[in-house]
Amino acid sequence: MFEFTSIGPTKVDCDGCHDFVYVSYNKTDASQLDMEGNNNNRIVLIEKYAKIAQKIKDMEVYDDDIWVVSFPKSGTTWTMEMTWLLNNDLNYKMARDVELSHRVPMLEISGVLNLFPEGSADTVINMRRPRHIKTHLNVALLPDKLWTSKAKVFYVARNPKDCIVSYFHHSRHITGYHGSMDDFVETFLQDKVLYTPYFEHIQAFWNLRHKPNIMMFMYEDMQADLLSILRKISEFLGKNYTDKQLIELKEHLSADKMRKNPSCNNDVFLSEAQKRNNPVNDGTYTFIRKAKVGGYKEELSQHFIERIDKWTEESLKFTDFRFKC
């Protein structure tokens, strides 16, 4: 059912990448959920994922679960803090006292980063309900029961140029990539970076966005009008907050506030990665970095801007999904 195949040579050299494999899951009910006209549901993970793949597929999913799903660097952390607070009656004290990565643990992290010991799937499986769960897995690898339960699923997507640049910095400062931006982008475009291919990840969720328990939105929409998104999420969760409460939450969720908030800025994870992965450590990196739309313009070469635009156009030829940047 699961297939693990080599990704072949890659220029990106960092934690786990020597063990990178394409994982695919070939079962009819998963392919039903796959992209129309495209049964390629492969995703780059590491070999170690084999140990938890079936456990995740078969895990129990509860109606009161909250799932935050995304391609990496798309605004996941932002969405996690937002949905956790909205679903937990704006409990700022607990949000401050308990680190976000414990409130919303990442399901597969021990199966994708060598830095993490075994057990992330068990941690999630045994969590106290209501569970909040983070994952970057694609539709095909998610638990079967996610599609039959009433669990609420939030999917956030971000334009590819900002996403790739953000991923490059993440890889340099966290996973220990020491190569160039150009090699990173090239490798990303070849679907050889962890969790790629990128468009297929988003497209599969785009095809599911009308399901009553799925809410999909864009990082760029959060930046443009966070208050509207907060209202929509509240309604989706069946919560009723006043405008004053939502304005206060918006303030709490600003990049500046979250950057200074040790519960959200992944400081412990960062310092652990810095000890273990020998990443670039120039003292300038914070997990919540530029936090803007179009930041790529300051960093990506014209050559790659054009290439990514062309690649995007090609990839979106057969879909009505469009990016907002």
Q: Considering the rule CB under 6 A, would residue 201 count as an interface residue with ligand A3P? A: no
**If residue 93 lies in a helix (H) or strand (E), which one and from where to where?**
helix 92-97
Query: Any residues with CB less than 8 A from the CB of 187 and at least 6 apart, and which?
Result: 10, 11, 12, 193
Do residues 118 and 51 touch, judged by C-beta distance below 8 A? yes
Query: Any residues with CB less than 8 A from the CB of 199 and at least 6 apart, and which?
Result: 160, 312, 315, 316
Q: Considering the rule CB under 6 A, would residue 253 count as an interface residue with ligand A3P? A: yes
Q: Considering the rule CB under 6 A, would residue 252 count as an interface residue with ligand A3P? A: no
Quick one: which segment of 1-9, 38-46, 230-238, 251-259 binds ligand A3P (CB under 6 A)? 251-259
Kindly report the number of other CB atoms within 10 A of residue 55's CB atom: 14
Q: How does DSSP classify residue 172?
A: I
**Nearer Cβ to ligand A3P, position 147 or 167?**
167
Quick one: which segment of 56-64, 72-80, 206-214, 244-252 binds ligand A3P (CB under 6 A)? 72-80
- Contact residue for ligand A3P among 258, 273, 300, 308 (CB under 6 A): 258
Q: Considering the rule CB under 6 A, would residue 146 count as an interface residue with ligand A3P? A: no
What the block records as the tokens of 292 is 């803007």
Q: How far is CA 103 from CA 52, 88, 200, in A?
A: 21, 11, 28
Do residues 115 and 19 touch, judged by C-beta distance below 8 A? no
- Contact residue for ligand A3P among 149, 166, 196, 277 (CB under 6 A): 166
What the block records as the tokens of 312 is 């995007």
Q: Considering the rule CB under 6 A, would residue 77 count as an interface residue with ligand A3P? A: yes
Q: Considering the rule CB under 6 A, would residue 196 count as an interface residue with ligand A3P? A: no
**Nearer Cβ to ligand A3P, position 72 or 105?**
72
- Contact residue for ligand A3P among 25, 42, 61, 75 (CB under 6 A): 75
Q: Considering the rule CB under 6 A, would residue 250 count as an interface residue with ligand A3P? A: no
Beta bridge partners of 18: none
Q: Considering the rule CB under 6 A, would residue 280 count as an interface residue with ligand A3P? A: no
Q: Considering the rule CB under 6 A, would residue 112 count as an interface residue with ligand A3P? A: no
Quick one: which segment of 52-60, 230-238, 240-248, 287-295 binds ligand A3P (CB under 6 A)? 287-295
What the block records as the tokens of 258 is 């979250």
* Residue 112 CB-half CA count within 13 A: 21
Q: Considering the rule CB under 6 A, would residue 76 count as an interface residue with ligand A3P? A: yes
Residues that bind ligand A3P (CB under 6 A): 70, 72-78, 162, 166, 169, 253, 255, 258, 288-291, 295
